[in-house]
């Protein structure tokens, strides 16, 4: 019998995979047999993840990529094709955060978020889809956020960007149904990653435990999510077993959206 979620023979590109959720997705996909390309602006972190995967018998390559630069994205995707011959899965995970409301968000901050979280996703979609069309199909998974669905204080620019990701997901899913390309998104609530730890340390020095507990309990389930839990959902949505799913956003939020009302 063929095992479930078999990614053998598939090539996956995962952006922002040098740490956090992206790292967990890369490791999970590699465990299921995928040839994983780890794209990150921090190539040292990306290489550490690739080395970890290769050390345990997986197959991974680390590539430096600033997704806000279209020419750089195009070059990297061409390199993936030259190396593996295909792009079966694209996970648009890379993104950056910003704290602020509309008044205290500067134009430069707004532009910085837009360049990475919106144009970066566009650049990767624009580069990958022609290859997927030529090979007869593929799967795209975008990382949205609960911030695209509900109002979250002081997240004006970030919420804008994730709303755009959710909309792009629907548009791509609709436009590329005839080409056997599926496109879905995941909307996490707060997930415990190194970014969260760094944010707390930077903004709440001396109160780390207190703030961590407060943030954890803001999820109705009583804790933050784990990167590997998001990776497990990503695995399913990118697998052949999810072949009847497209144009859908999946909450993974500990009840944040539905139980906080």
Q: Which residues pair with 127 in a beta bridge?
A: none
Going by DSSP bridges, is the β-strand pair 181-188/59-64 parallel, antiparallel, or unpaired? unpaired
Distance from C-alpha of 42 to C-alpha of 20, rounded to nearest angstrom: 13
Q: Which of 131, 158, 176, 250 is catalytic?
A: 158
Beta strand pairing call for 11-15 and 89-92:
parallel
User: What are the CB-based long-range contacts (under 8 Å, 24+) for 27-31?
Assistant: 27/52, 27/53, 27/58, 27/231, 28/228, 28/231, 28/232, 28/234, 28/235, 29/89, 29/231, 29/234, 29/235, 29/238, 30/58, 30/59, 30/60, 31/58
131 labelled catalytic: no
Closest CA to 120 of 80, 182, 69, 172: 69
CA distance 77 to 86: 10
Q: Which residues are catalytic?
A: 158
């Amino acid at each position: 019998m063929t095992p479930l979620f078999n990614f053998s023979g598939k090539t996956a590109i995962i952006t922002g995979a040098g740490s956090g959720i992206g790292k967990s997705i890369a490791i999970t996909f590699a465990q299921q047999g995928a040839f994983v390309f780890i794209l990150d602006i921090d190539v040292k972190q990306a290489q550490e993840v690739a080395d970890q995967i290769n050390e345990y018998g997986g197959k991974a390559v680390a590539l430096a990529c600033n997704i806000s630069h279209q020419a750089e994205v195009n070059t990297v995707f061409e390199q993936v094709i030259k190396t593996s011959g295909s792009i079966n899965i694209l996970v648009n995970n890379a993104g950056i955060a910003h704290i602020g409301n509309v008044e205290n968000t500067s134009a430069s901050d707004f532009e910085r978020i837009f360049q990475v979280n919106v144009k970066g996703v566009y650049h990767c979609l624009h580069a990958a889809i022609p290859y997927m069309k030529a090979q007869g199909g593929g799967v795209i998974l975008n990382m949205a956020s609960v911030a695209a669905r509900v109002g979250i204080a002081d997240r004006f620019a970030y919420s804008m960007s994730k709303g755009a990701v959710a909309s792009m997901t629907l548009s791509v899913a609709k436009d590329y149904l005839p080409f056997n390309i599926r496109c879905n998104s995941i909307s996490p609530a707060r997930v415990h990653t190194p970014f969260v730890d760094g944010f707390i340390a930077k903004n709440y020095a001396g109160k780390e435990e207190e703030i961590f507990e407060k943030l954890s309990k803001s999820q109705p389930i009583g804790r933050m999510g784990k990167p590997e839990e998001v990776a497990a959902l990503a695995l399913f949505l990118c697998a052949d077993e999810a072949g009847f799913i497209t144009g859908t956003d999946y909450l993974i939020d500990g009840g944040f959206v539905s139980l906080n009302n």
